[in-house]
Structure 1
């Protein structure tokens, strides 16, 4: 089923790429219709010896033990993400999210299921002003203040988009 609504994606990772070879550990997608999903990703065997940052773990609160215990198989995560996205255009506020989707797909020898577009380009193409974007972001941060949790970050971005779209309708 094709959706005409935007979807926002956010990944958490084992570390930032500048700190070593990183892999995705959590991903969330939130659509602007209010639906969202999040998945913890059990590391692929190929990633077992890649880098892990204690600093990143402190930010997102996900340990290696949690991934082994509660993480889902990477192939299942990719399949469920693809199904959830449907025909939505997928956006992110950071290029790193596309990088981690690529790492996930490469690890599974799969092609990218959808492109990830930069959210700033969507905002510019629709003519939103900086004050409009800042106001929407501040309102969303007040309602969803937790950061560095994929589910909360994706939901907050979806809320920003929804708030901006509501200014168009008003």
Structure 2
């Protein structure tokens, strides 16, 4: 089983500090596969906000985005292909917002809904102690935070641990 898929974005700044744009996105499936993309900013974003605070958290600089970032159209196409057939979940509604910002910038419709991970956990009947235990174990195994690629993998691991515990 490879679904569901978990998505996480990093952005140019925290929304409370200005108008942010997506700079990195990662998607991880519960089978352990994952993909991450740096997003080259579109021209319209050049005048949006950048936060040194956010950069210190995720370690991604504007120079990295220019030299290593991929065109947003390519990122979106590869992401759509990677999540095909999966429901996509995030632990924050900001992830859907940044997907919308990405799509709007390249005049593409939202390719899939981003559902709230808490709803999935509730629908599956997981209890708070089960979720907390799975989250603690996932953080122990994957402790690095504020990198989309690591955050998405950790969320996918939480779901995998919960589903495996349910089957046991």
Same fold by TM-score greater than 0.5: yes
CA contact (8 A) 1:75 1:108 kept: yes
Provide the TM-score with structure 1 as the length reference. Answer: 0.97
CA contact (8 A) 2:2 2:31 kept: no
Counterpart selection for 2:96 from 88, 95, 98? 98
| Distance in 1 between residues matched to 2:3 and 2:56, nearest whole Å | 33
Counterpart selection for 1:165 from 158, 163, 166? 163
In the other structure, the counterpart of 1:86 is 84
Structure 2 unaligned residues grouped into runs of 5+: none
In the other structure, the counterpart of 1:133 is 131
| Distance in 2 between residues matched to 1:87 and 1:17, nearest whole Å | 31
CA contact (8 A) 2:72 2:102 kept: yes
Aligned to 1:167, the other structure's residue is in SS state helix
Trace 1:102-117 onto structure 2 (pairs within 5 A).
102-117=100-115
CA contact (8 A) 2:20 2:49 kept: yes
In the other structure, the counterpart of 1:35 is 33
Structure 1 4/144 Cα, relative in aligned 2: closer, same or farther at 3 Å?
closer
CA contact (8 A) 2:2 2:29 kept: no
Query: How many equivalent pairs are there?
Result: 168
In the other structure, the counterpart of 2:55 is 57
Q: After superposition, what is the alpha-carbon deviation per residue over 1:79-121, rounded to whole angstroms, capped at 9, x for unaligned?
A: 0000000110000000000000000000011001110000000
Structure 1 unaligned residues grouped into runs of 5+: none
Structure 1 runs of 4+ aligned residues shifted over 2 Å read none
| Distance in 2 between residues matched to 1:5 and 1:84, nearest whole Å | 11
- CA displacement at 1:137 relative to structure 2: 0.2
CA contact (8 A) 1:4 1:89 kept: no
